[in-house]
Structure 1
Amino acid sequence: MSQLPIYTALSVPTVITHPSVRCLQWSEDGQLCLVTKSSVHILTPDPGINFNTPADIKTPIGDEHSDRPLGWYRTMIETTRGQTHSWPSIYQGWASLSLGSLDVSVRAVACSPSGLTSRGRCVIAVLNSNMEVSLWAAGKNHLKGEWSNIQDVTGDILDLPAVGQDFNEASRTLGNQVMSIAWSCQPHFGIYPAPLVDASILAVGTRAGSVKLFRFQNGADSEGRVSLIHEVKISEEWITHLAWSPWFTLSEGKCESLLAYATGDGGVGLVRISQTHQSASVSGFVPTYTLDVISGQKAEAIFAPDKRAIPALDWVAVPERNPILVYSKPGIIYLWSSSSSPVHWHGDRVLPIRAQGLSIGTSAFSSVSGFSYVKQSDLLLVALFDGSLHVIHNISTEPSWTPTASDDHLTSEALSQTFRAFFAEATSAGVEYMDVNRTSGLVSYDSHSTLTWIYESLRPSDFSYKHEARHECMLLAAPFWPLDDATILRAAQETLVQFHCATRSAPLHRLRPLLLHLCNTGHFAKLCPHLLEVLNQIPQDDSTAVVVPAWSQGLGAELQLQLRRSFATHLFGWDGLLSLRMRLSIADMCWRLCKDPELRVGCGQVAQNQLAGISYRILRILVRHLTAIVTALAPSDVPFVLRIVVQSQLAGSPLDLSCEAEALSNKVNAAIEIDPMIAGLHELCPACHIEVPLQDITQATCPNGHSWARCSVTSFILSTSMVRTCIGCSRKALLPVSQSSDAEDEAWLPVAARSWIVKELLEAVQRCLFCGNSFVAIV
């Protein structure tokens, strides 16, 4: 036990109303959401985050193996304790009674995929005990700043016109009372570049036995809102749980997912939801698409109702086979899978839980509070409310509680003892048999051996009452067994290959496991040389496949919209470019951690190669877009265009890129009379007003020694507070005009940057062009 550190032991003074497999969950922005009675705590681990503000929390115990203790940035969503909608005022029947309205609390949370808001981040749906759903989004700073309520979803549902059986007042009211929520991931339709169209679906289960499907849409004057796109009638019972399987790509432009549900009478079933991505128009720079949602004609029953409650329902994504549905009833774990191949099982599996006897509160009938699938060992970890861990081995081939020879050390008994030992180590007063570590939620940190869980210590035999202010939970993150270097390296290789940019997950989220293990002193020295070899494998250059048709309709609102959409699609819709960004993030982390001077030079060289590859791809994309719209350029656009030409012809640039830039320059010279005084290549120093030549695209230094950072998107000097900072690499960029304090006043922009092309580019770039992570605005 002395060899296993606790990376985080954070005391959280709060009440958690019930155990749940979604009490702790990761968003695709790489943030950990903790659901408590009155709020949602949002915690972001600091490995990979590099900007001036330090992490709020660093509370390791016995962690002598890490160069950098695991820190966390913290903020929260504070929901109102009052009810927004009074159901008795809508319908006076007993069926609409809401006991949760007496003391309104948070019941569940669903995180959207990343990239939905105007700042390119997640939205969080919150369900409270009064059966109301609201949407929340972060403002300037999603790590430490405020999250605001952007939509009252229940209010919008109530405003929908009645159709069909909804004319019955009781049915309509029950159909508006929400019991469960789940948000699907983004499907991959097999289209490149990946269209930046939100194809995720928010599913809402109601008291009327129906499931409503919602789609998020960006708003011109708001962060966006969801709107109803489909409704499926499933049962006459309450829909208490919902879970989306991963999307399957059936053919180019068509995907399918299985939406599993549980009903109040103990039944389990699923509905097949398919989406078709159809091209609506190909007249612009990139095609526009429409999405059609089709549900199965009827629900497919998996487990017949038996009046036993279902506390947990979730899908386990297992490589190279169909996903496995895991659900529980008191004392039993059930598995179900559709047929995938002759070597894999299908149908049902029933596994009775065995009590571990760790404390006075141990019971096989405790609720399930978390699942964690370990691909390397093909096992599923199951956490119970009583503070025990149970291991299902060979889940993809022949599930059982019995370990194989290769993982005989990963037994339920051994891991439960480790679980208990962590509890004892984090408890300063000591632990006895009478003490129970009541675990409300558990989630994997690295998809391997490191878990994150939250528990509350108590003595049930005391029968003592604690008021809310005295409740205190503990959030722990710790490894349950050591990983060898080969496993970490193999996981890194898979991370850099097995992904699709269509899912829009932030690089920090994808790289979280690797960044944690790189900070381990024992691993880093051996891993770094092998990791550099992996990072040096440059992916194919997707930018050579970018085709931008020439525009001949002149400057107008349609061109501006088309250019913004095309910029966003090509800059963030190619897998190769995303792979380079992740490789650069890893190389930068290695350079920061490396203490060997010679090896550090190697890390810097690899990072420089990745940076050059990213820059050339971005420049080629910009050059081809500017070439396509050369007939719509105005004199005010010339400074930015010439900057792109000069950067594309710097020493070391690929020959084909330099030739394309030269051709663009010739077309601009032929179309527009250029005034050398406003060419924009030489800016004035904001301090002394002396010319600053464009010699370095990251830093500007005038002859008097004044130094200024340059915008990472446009390369203009940054001399304004209207900037945003990348959380991954700390590069800065000008704010989009729509996010400035006064969208009508553009005086803060550099004079040479007051071009409509620059404005559309800034709007299109919601994430860092070099590392792919989110921006935050500090001021």
Structure 2
Amino acid sequence: MTELPIPTVLSLSAVSVPPSVKCLQFSQDGQAILLTKYAVYILTPDTGVSIELSSVIKQAPDSSKSPSRSTRPLGWLRTMVEFDRSLAHQWPNDSQEWGAVSLGSLDPSLHAVTLSPSNLTADAGCVLALLNSNLELTIWGASKNLLTGEWIRASRPRRSAPCSWAAKNPLSAVKTVLRDQSTCIAWSPQPHWGREPAPLVDASLLAVGNRLGSVTFLRYDKAEKRMAAVAETQVADRWATHLAWSAWHVPQDGTCNLGEAMLACGTADGSVVVLTVCQTLDPKPTFTKFTPDHALGLSIQVDDERISGSDGRAITGLQWVNTPGRSAILIYHKPGVLHLWSASSFGASEAAWSGSRAFVLRTHKRSVGSSALSPASGISYIPSLDVAVVSLSDGSFYVIQKLSVDPTLDPPSPGSIQPDTLSAASRSVFVRAEPEKVSYKDVDRIHGAVTYDGGSTFMWTYEASRPTDFSYKHDAKHISTFVVAQLWDEDLDERVLSGLAERVGHAGSVSGEAPLSILRPLFLHLRDSSRIARLHPRLLDILYRQPPSGPDATIAVASYTGDWTSELSRELRRSLATHIFGWSSIHSQRMRYAVAVFCQKHAEAAEIQQKFADAANLFLASIRTHVHLVLIRHLSAISGPLSLHDISFARRTIHQATAAVATAPALAKEAEHLWAQLPLAPHAVSAGMQINAASPAVGINHEQEGDRMDELCPACNGTIPLQSMDAESAVCTNGHVWARCCVTSFLLATPMVRTCVGCGRKALLPPPAPAWATPEASSSGDANGSVDHPDARVGDSQAPPAHLLYPPGGVGGLSNSARFVQDLLDATRRCPFCGNNFVVLV
């Protein structure tokens, strides 16, 4: 058998991983999250990342073991959330009943992790919900740098009052304790409401099961940096042990604002209950009418039918598979048996099946520890083949063929994926990755597995063990191995082309998923320069398909004539963020730009590099035109209450827009309209700019001496002509070079900046929240009796005080009086050009 490539073999010393279908998963920020016994490892592939490259770790198998095919190693950036094993809550203090005893407190460890959708926190990232063996739930997020920086605890969600009255009412007290003892967690995705631009509303829900048999639904409160309970439903009289969300179904008829998802709940007696969760997007009155605002309505219904009875067999894995054109399919595993269930769906194809299916698993003898009774360690769906790949902890793989039409474990044709072949391939990876010689007595216990690229390349963790050796192995001796490898041969060229067409042709911005995450499967295979040389005409054809166009005519911003208030700032930030990042067409342009830049970087021939560079410049110009259009229309809407410093920024924006008259004549006309609305600004209103207020209309020749808009060099006070301004950098007359803010184009004369992880562009930090927008610091304990960390601001860039970041007179043209610019910086939480996250490196 031809040896397949293994891009990563990363050894994790003194790391033990409990087997679970959710211990290894990808976040929408493009990071792999690995749950171990005492820590959560956060691993970011270096493909598409342009910063922190000195910290990249690359490990691959010994080349002497795979002479037939050389593989370029895949690098990873690494950080972690460490569990200090301290107990924040002593449950016996609340109840002395035996039912409230937590045996996990004897050896505290991490039990489960779930990820929120991206674009949720203040820096547009995701948060982690962690559950430990003492049944405590905590929320974590990145503070400054999600790649290699610290992740901090935000809060413990408050779901009920402490049981201070336990002695008076012991029965009610034990019920309250059981309700607070969390046993399983799952975070829903965001609904796709089918609106343009996508509403800036978080409709994701964190479902938390407990020992009382109920499920609590919580939502992340961005303003308060904590979780808030919104509903609770009783599902059983046993412990809830597993939870899994399906995707949201939203009718795309333009009239219904209803989203519906299914939540599967597994209990301790082996039964499975399905909850139907409905959310409505209800209009909410606004202060300015810049963009519509919405409130969320929630209703939950428990289905009468239990899809699995109380057979006493433990559930080891529970996951939904979302297939197009039919209702979602639930896959759950019990020792030795795979179960499927699907509801009958209206409008589904005639070939779609519904009801329950069960398949008895056959042992694949690869080692002395092979057993079909092992727990499940991974469930992955391959849409292009309509198969589900299930891995067990004994190192074996099973394939459900024709999942959406007629599921079966029997291969339908000789060319189909064979489960024996996958098990043999994973065993081959184990043999090649291990430093010592492997025998039949050595077992590769797979603890978590997931597809890396939606196809043949998988990512998993294993630990080598020898069951016949009964010697004790303490925690320091456990070594887990993190692997990325291809498990079967397929046409990767066609997978790259079809994947690129799908991603750039059907881009949706509502989920908030970062381009680094969406394009991860493509970047893995486009690292091969020979593949780029072979496919570049077809890649460029896909990138140029559907010429760049933006929603120019549909960006409508209502005029506002009142005073500048806190409500105006709040709704201005929401409207700017909605229009800069909420349009699918611009989201597609950002991904096209990212692919073009990546191919330009990895191509070897100069001619091919130039072709991708031309494509990247075209998409970049389209994105820049859209951003300028959004700024101009918002400045036109609030031209009345603009301060002098805001007018200075408006003139700067007009200058940049008119410079693109050859490529975007409509934008130049918008700029001319804005110019007519602005009052004349006095000479040199900003210490960072020299502006001649006697300038005539926009349609002038900007090379005229009387219309010079110059900046002063922060180092020597030399002149930086604005009309010759480069979008990325600036050079003064004495040769000093300065980077520019990618949001405002101001000079970056302060080290307090944020950097895009994708393209490396820099931007000024958003200003600290004003007093009216800052929640009061809570000094009271949470439901578990602990006090939140005073600096635990998940997703906050932790900007310094305003007088340090923006001193009087302004830094790079920015002053405390430039209210529009400060709201713009706060609204632009991601890079406006490539759409990826910002991080703070200092």
- With normalisation by structure 2, the TM-score equals 0.89
**How far apart are residue 297 of structure 1 and its match?**
5.1
Q: Show the counterpart of 2:204.
A: 200
Distance, in Å, in 1 between the alignment partners of 2:132 and 2:482 is 23
Match of 1:690 among 718, 721, 739: 718
Say if 2:612 is the partner of 1:603. Answer: yes
Deviates more, 1:489-498 or 1:728-737: 489-498
Alpha-carbon spacing, 1:677–1:281, altered in 2? closer, same or farther (3 Å):
closer
Corresponding letter in the other structure for 1:487: R
Match in the other structure for 1:171: 175
Separation in structure 2 between the aligned mates of residue 57 and residue 581 of structure 1, nearest angstrom: 28
Deviation at 1:702, TM superposition (A): 1.1
Deviation at 1:8, TM superposition (A): 0.5
User: Is 2:232 aligned against 1:225?
Assistant: no
- CA distance in 2 between partners of 1:418 and 1:719 (Å): 54
Aligned to 1:720: 750
Aligned residue among 737, 747, 757 for 2:806 = 747
Deviates more, 1:529-538 or 1:302-311: 529-538
Question: Counterpart in 1 of 2:556?
Answer: 547
Q: Which residue of 397, 422, 426 corresponds with 1:419? A: 426
C-alpha contact (below 8 Å) 2:163/2:173 kept by paired residues: no
RMSD: 2.0
Q: Deviations over 1:74-122 (max 9, x none)?
A: 0000123021111111011001010001111000001000011111100
Higher relative contact order (CA 8 A, sep 6+): 2
The answer to whether the aligner puts 1:735 opposite 2:798 as a matched pair is no
Return the offset for 1:382.
0.8
In the alignment, what sits opposite 2:664?
654
Other-structure match for 1:247? 248
> Does residue 275 of the first structure (1) align with residue 279 of the second (2)?
yes
Q: CA deviation at 1:416?
A: 0.6
User: Pairwise mapping of residues 344-743 of structure 1 onto structure 2 (< 5 A)?
Assistant: 344-405=352-413, 407-408=415-416, 410-484=417-491, 485-537=493-545, 538-651=547-660, 652-668=662-678, 671-675=679-683, 678=686, 679=690, 681-694=709-722, 695=724, 696-738=726-768, 739-743=798-802
Letter in 1 for 2:733: P
Asked if structure 2 preserves the Cα contact closer than 8 Å seen for 1:46 and 1:55, the reply is: no
- In structure 2, the CA distance between the partners of 1:112 and 1:698, relative to structure 1 (3 Å rule), is same
What is aligned with 1:37? 37
Query: What secondary structure is seen at the aligned counterpart in 1 of 2:468?
Result: helix
Gaps of 5+ in 1: none
CA separation of 1:572 and 1:344: change in aligned 2, threshold 3 A:
same
Q: What residue is the counterpart of 2:80 in the other structure?
A: 76
Contact 1:234 1:298 in 2 (8 A): no
Q: CA deviation at 1:510?
A: 0.4
Q: Which amino acid aligns with 2:440?
A: Y
Q: Is the partner of 2:208 in helix, strand or coil?
A: strand
CA distance in 1: counterparts of 2:392 and 2:467, whole angstroms: 16
1:100 paired to 2:96: no
Secondary structure of 1:632's aligned partner? coil
Partner residue in 1 for 2:295 = 290
- How far has the Cα of 1:181 moved from its partner? 0.2
Quote the offset at 1:260 in angstroms: 0.3
Superposed CA offset, 1:657-696 (max 9, x none): 101101111211xx34432564563111122211101221
Query: Deviations for 1:406-445, whole angstroms, at most 9, x for unmatched residues?
Result: 733x201111111100000001211110000011100111
Whether contact under 8 Å (1:316, 1:323) holds in the other structure is: yes
Equivalent AA in structure 1 for residue 196 of structure 2: Y
- Answer whether contact 2:128 2:141 (CA < 8 A) is retained: yes
Return closer, same or farther for 1:166/1:217 CA change in 2, 3 Å cut-off.
farther
CA shift digits 1:557-605 (9 cap, x unpaired): 1111111111111111110111100110000001101111212111111
Moved more, 526-535 or 256-265: 526-535
Moved over 4 A (4+): 62-68, 158-162, 676-680
- 1:760 equivalent in structure 2: 823
User: Structure 2 residue aligned with 1:331, among 336, 340, 352?
Assistant: 336
Structure 2 residue 375 is the aligned partner of structure 1 residue 316: no
Deviation per residue, 1:629-651 (Å, 9 max, x gap):
00011112122111110110014
Task: Report the CA distance between 1:487 and its aligned residue.
Answer: 2.3
Counterpart CA distance in 2 for 1:477 and 1:585 is: 23
* Correspondence for 2:789: none
| Cα shift at 1:404 | 2.4
Displacement of 1:228 after TM fit?
0.5
Amino acid at match of 1:750: V
Shift of 1:653: 3.8
Which residue number in structure 1 is paired with residue 217 of structure 2? 213
Most deviating of 731-740 and 573-582? 731-740
Query: Residue 777 of structure 2 corresponds to which residue in structure 1?
Result: none
CA distance in 2, matches of 1:351, 1:522: 43
Cα 1:68–1:578 shift into 2, 3 Å? farther
Q: Distance in 2 between matches of 1:20 and 1:726?
A: 33
CA contact (8 A) 2:710 2:719 kept: yes
Amino acid paired to 1:26: F
Mean alpha-carbon deviation: is it higher for 238-247 or for 7-16? 7-16
Asked if structure 2 preserves the Cα contact closer than 8 Å seen for 1:189 and 1:252, the reply is no
User: Which secondary structure state, in structure 2, belongs to the residue aligned with residue 286 of structure 1?
Assistant: coil
Give 1:321 shift: 1.9
Give the distance between the partners of 1:556 and 1:128, measured in 2 at CA.
45
Cα-to-partner distance string for 1:168-211 (whole Å, 9 max, x where unaligned): 12211111111100000111122221111111000000100000
Partner of 1:773: 836
Is the CA contact (8 Å cut-off) linking 1:377 and 1:407 kept in structure 2?
Answer: no
Question: What amino acid does structure 1 have at the position aligned with 2:433?
Answer: A
TM-aligned CA distance change 1:159 to 1:645, over 3 Å: farther
Distance in 1 separating the partners of 2:835 and 2:206: 25
- Report the equivalent of 1:260: 264
The alignment partner of 1:57 has SS state of coil
Q: Are the counterparts in 1 of residues 503 and 518 from structure 2 also a CA contact under 8 Å?
A: yes
3-state SS of 2:250 partner:
strand
Contact 1:313–1:328 (8 Å) recurs in 2: yes
**In structure 2, C-alpha distance between the alignment counterparts of 1:176 and 1:648, rounded to whole Å:** 56
| Counterpart contact for 1:21–1:368, Cα < 8 Å | yes
- Normalising by structure 1, what TM-score? 0.96
In structure 2, the CA distance between the partners of 1:299 and 1:504, relative to structure 1 (3 Å rule), is farther
Q: 1:740 to 1:17 in 2, by over 3 A?
A: closer
Equivalenced residue count is: 771
Q: Which deviates more, 132-141 or 46-55?
A: 46-55
Q: Is the 8 A contact 1:727 1:774 kept in 2?
A: yes
Distance 1:391 1:176 in 2: 39
Change (3 A) 1:11 1:273: same
Deviation at 1:403, TM superposition (A): 1.4
1:304 matched to which residue of 2? 309
SS at match of 1:622: helix
Question: 19-28 or 514-523: which moved more?
Answer: 514-523
**Alpha carbons of 1:657 and 1:412: their partners in 2 closer, same or farther (altered >3 Å)?**
same
**Residue pair 2:181, 2:211 contacting (<8 A) in 1 also:** yes
